[in-house]
Structure 1
Amino acid sequence: MKAPDRCGAAVTTAAPAPSSRDLPHPAREEIRLEGVLHALSDPMRLQIVRELATKDTELACSAFDVPVTKSTTTHHFRVLREAGVIRQVYRGTAKMNGLRREDLDERFPGLLDCLLAAAARQTARVDEG
């Protein structure tokens, strides 16, 4: 089934959503470690999550400055959503993105903070070098 994606082109959804504007998300108990690690293994997706982690609010897709095409950006957000790392909801015409910190911390205590700290240290080393 094709669903409209405000971050880019139409994408295939994993399961039919209750309405055309509702996006499928895994329930907390369905979030799997290997899915989270895979989602965060890409530098662009990690950048998106790092930015969401610094905010106490949802951000629109257009708020992210990622140096890739619109269709690639759509793919990155979909991978993060399907892994259970972010929640995407429509607010008017904007697709808003929020980090599922509470769900991730419940499933894998300390994992997100550890990964974010490691990413910050890596960025600092690259910036120094």
Structure 2
Amino acid sequence: MTTSVNTARSGGRELEHPSRAEMRLEGVLHALSDPMRLRIVHELARVEDELPCSHFDLPVTKSTLTHHFRVLRESGVVQQTYRGTAKMNGLRRADLAALYPGLLDSLLGALGRQNDRLGEG
């Protein structure tokens, strides 16, 4: 999904994001269905702040990590903005809560219970 309605701009670089009205449940669920993307969302929710892409130490290549962030951004799960040379990522918690009340908290709670059950951190 691409849109020019909601863009983050800094230093001439723009990243396209769907507006709240353009976000679709199937896109959000698809974005959250991948274990690596879930780890990203979990970490963003845990710190409740923006984090640079370089913060995430996932067992994937840089190009695959870029793909995961793009899927999260294009679905509306995260907002990405450039700060200098860093691409910062923030969870779009308010938008998700307004459109799908309880979805994010339920998902994160279920993930925590799963991690406990399977002995994963």
- For this pair of structures, how many residues does the alignment match? 116
Match in the other structure for 2:65:
73
- Superposed, 1:101-116 pairs within 5 Å as 101-116=93-108
Matched, 1:57 2:57: no
**Using the alignment, how far apart are the partners of 1:113 and 1:85 within structure 2?**
13
Match in the other structure for 1:26:
18
Q: Give the alignment's TM-score, normalised by structure 1.
A: 0.84
Identity of aligned residues (%): 66
Shift of 1:72: 0.3
Q: Is the 8 A contact 2:3 2:17 kept in 1?
A: no
Task: For structure 1, list consecutive stretches of 5 or more residues without a partner in the other structure.
Answer: 1-12
**Using the alignment, how far apart are the partners of 2:45 and 2:52 within structure 1?**
14
Q: Give the alignment's TM-score, normalised by structure 2.
A: 0.89
Matched, 1:89 2:81: yes
Matched, 1:48 2:36: no
**Using the alignment, how far apart are the partners of 1:41 and 1:18 within structure 2?**
25
Which has the larger displacement, 16-25 or 87-96? 16-25
Change (3 A) 1:72 1:104: same
Q: Deviations over 1:48-94 (max 9, x none)?
A: 00000011210000001110000000000000000000000000110
| AA at the equivalent of 2:25 | L
Query: Which residue among 108, 112, 115 is the counterpart of 1:120?
Result: 112
CA-based RMSD of the aligned residues comes to 1.8
Show structure 1 runs of 4+ deviating over 6 A. Answer: 16-19
